[in-house]
Chains A and B, each alone.
Chain A
Amino acid sequence: MPVIEVTHLRKSYRDHVAVQDVSFSVEPGEIFGILGPNGAGKTTTVECLAGLRHHDGGQIQVLGLDPERDRDQLRQVLGIQLQESELPANIQVDEALELYSSFYRDPADWRSLRDSLGLTEKRTARFGKLSGGQKQRLSIALALVGNPRVAILDELTTGLDPAARRETWDLIEGVRERGVTIVLVTHFMPEAEHLCDRVAVIDSGRVVAVDSPAGLVTRVNAEQRLRFYPSADLDDRLLTELPQVTAVDRHGPQVLVTGTGDVLGAVTSVLARRGIVAEQLRVEQTTLDDAFIALTGQEIS
């Protein structure tokens, strides 16, 4: 049974429709990504999931609960980290964790949560003095302090430096290993590619596709490009004869091969037979970014 089931969700504000028609379901133990450009309706969707907003149409079930009708019950089992929600500047890390854990009937041990999120040294530091990454980790800790079965994390790594981002990703994988189902809202492709089992691509309030990141890529275009410098003279026809190759171009001494399927294997074996080495060989595959652009017709950020 899915943990989250959204069918034909619709939500409009006074002056515009934020969510047109969104449906997806999230399976237990999954990291499910909600991917889309700014203003696509991602945050509104999760706010409806969390019962923070009233939706105009469609159905939502989270752990078998209705987010609006069973609001109190849902709060006990759903952890949420929203964008731009801070804490008082002068509250200490431990105070915040202790306070928020007192809000739940069956909280996690906030001390071990703090330690596992690498905040032990900062336990008496005030929120206002924490770095962006530390604030974000505390935010994750607060989303998990109630021992939730589902955690919604909205734009988790926005504004973090690459090292802090990597650390946060590791943390999320750790959270999944505890058996928590995670909904990850992001507009950052590498994040979705790295973390998510499946992704719903949302554009202008509609779901454009739901698939694994790899599935989305193959769905759009399986074309690959190879670039290399041949160690000896090479006749283009050797390559254009190959069924996998669709085009061969040259940039000075550099050869650029476009093709589908196992074009890499085909090209390298031809070269090997001729005793030619492909120097500085680069393979460019379609990325989730390309897939996204193909699906939505626009750049993500």
Chain B
Amino acid sequence: MTSATYAVQSPLRRLTRIEFRLLLRERVGLIWGLAFPPVLLIILGTLGGQKADKDLDGLTLAATYVPIVIAFSVAMLALNVMPPVLGTYREKGVLRRMSTTPVPPSRLLAAQVAINLAVAAVTTVLVLIIGRVGFDVGLPRQAGGFLIALVLAAAGLFAIGLTIAALAPTGKAANAAGAITFFPMMFFAGLWVPRAVMPDALRHVSDYTPMGAAVQALQDSARGHFPHTLHLAVLAVYAVGFTAAAIRLFRWE
């Protein structure tokens, strides 16, 4: 390749490619965001067998966990993979260095969001295929609703991740903040106790958390219903609110 072909590529595309390579080299991000969710589904699906469970709204364990595992992957990438990278970039002056060039460091944020979203998309497809092929879980019947729910959930979670990245002075701080946010959210998503078996009060709280709303909206559309307005609205509010917070709070150094 000659430098002429490089010049044609936009800086953002080049940046995204490099960030993707760095993600591959880092490995940890891919293990949790890409590899772990399908493995979790396979384990739970195998444990649960083919029997529909009355307690789980007449779904198999695998069908119950498909949306949870998808939400897990998106949240993992948004909260535990991306913020430490950006926190380290601030800590090490990578953002500062970029701000001396014609390309603003905001492009680095865009590249990070893009690659993590791409991984989340691949994981989602992988999980849906494994559910369909391995455990007879039907593909989402209300595909449009599923997609809207997924996009809003990703927007909300990545906005929260960017807010963490905006505030964390170091990679370590971002790591800690991400984990502290992630585990309670996963609880409300039903990772340990699926929403169907949550006590009513707990489920009501869960409705207003990003992951609870996301999992229910994904589950509803998987079964052929359009998601509840409440859940979509909750996700949209998180997305808008935290995007505004991230923009307002972000510091380049």
Contact = CB atoms under 8 A, between A and B. Distances in A.
A301 interface: no
Contacts of B119: none
Contacts of A259: none
Contacts of B100: 50, 52, 75, 78-80, 82, 85
Nearest to B7: A102
A114 to B, nearest CB: 12
Max chain A Cβ within 10 angstroms of own Cβ: one of B7, B25, B92, B102: B102
Q: Binding site of A, secondary structure by majority: helix, strand, loop or mixed?
A: loop
Contacts of B3: 101, 109-111
Interface residues of A, number: 31
Contacts of B10: 102
A85 B6 contact: no
Given A75-B102, A102-B6, A142 B22 contact: no
B93 A86 contact: yes
Nearest to B93: A85
Interface stretch (A33-41, A90-98, A190-198): A90-98
A82 B96 CA distance: 8
Q: Binding site of B, secondary structure by majority: helix, strand, loop or mixed?
A: helix
A236 to B, nearest CB: 60
A59 interface: no
Interface size class for chain B? Answer: 20 to 34
Max chain A Cβ within 10 angstroms of own Cβ: one of B25, B89, B101: B101
B18 interface: yes
B96 A85 contact: yes
B14 A88 contact: no
Interface in A79-136: 79-80, 82, 84-88, 90-91, 95, 98-105, 107, 109-111
Contacts of A85: 92-94, 96-97, 100
Given A102-B6, A109-B3, A91 B18 contact: yes
Contacts of A50: 100
Interface of A: 50, 52, 72, 75-76, 78-80, 82, 84-88, 90-91, 95, 98-105, 107, 109-111, 142, 146
Interface of B: 3, 6-7, 9-11, 14-15, 18, 21-22, 25-26, 88-89, 92-94, 96-97, 99-103
29 contacts: A50-B100, A52-B99, A52-B100, A75-B100, A75-B101, A76-B102, A78-B100, A79-B100, A80-B100, A85-B92, A86-B97, A87-B92, A87-B94, A87-B97, A88-B22, A88-B88, A88-B89, A88-B94, A90-B25, A90-B26, A98-B14, A99-B18, A101-B3, A102-B7, A102-B11, A102-B14, A103-B11, A103-B101, A110-B3
